[in-house]
Amino acid sequence: MYTGLQYLHSGFAYLVLAALVIVFGYVLVNYFKSNPFTEKVRKASLVGLIVSHLQLLVGLVLYLISPKGLSNFSGEAMGDAMSRLYMLEHPLTMIIAIILITVGYSKAKNGTNDSSRYKKILIFYGLGLVLMLIRIPWSVWP
């Protein structure tokens, strides 16, 4: 089960990154063309939100059952860069990134004008995407 969840988490990460890049690009194009913020744009950004949250759920389950996750939390593990990445830096950064994406979607959904709605998605989704890219363990990622 543990190995399966690892593969699911790693494989689904490609989908999350692709979805967020596509949503960011789509919103960016619509912003620069001054297109109205339509239901289609809202649903596209919702896709990015949903896949991010699904990845978070898989990651949290993996964190709880993994020998590299919560059970490895100790002072000794903080001295090892890879252990610290798995038990603290990666999960914490990803949670912050997904919170930013969630805030961006909520603020854009309740925005007043089209330009500000686009800006909120671009800023919050962009920050979330950058945080994700920074803390993916690239050296061991399949």
Q: Which amino acid is at 93?
A: T
Which residues are within 8 A (CB) of 113 and not within 5 positions of it... i.e. 6 or more apart?
Answer: none
Task: Assess whether pLDDT exceeds 90 at residue 34.
Answer: yes
Q: How far is Cα 48 from Cα 60, in angstroms, rounded to an integer?
A: 18
- Dump pLDDT digits (tens) for 93-141: 999 999 999 999 999 999 889 999 999 999 999 999 999 999 998 887 7
Q: How far is Cα 81 from Cα 79, in angstroms, rounded to an integer?
A: 6
Half-sphere exposure of 114 (CA within 13 A, CB side): 13
Provide the whole-model pTM.
0.92
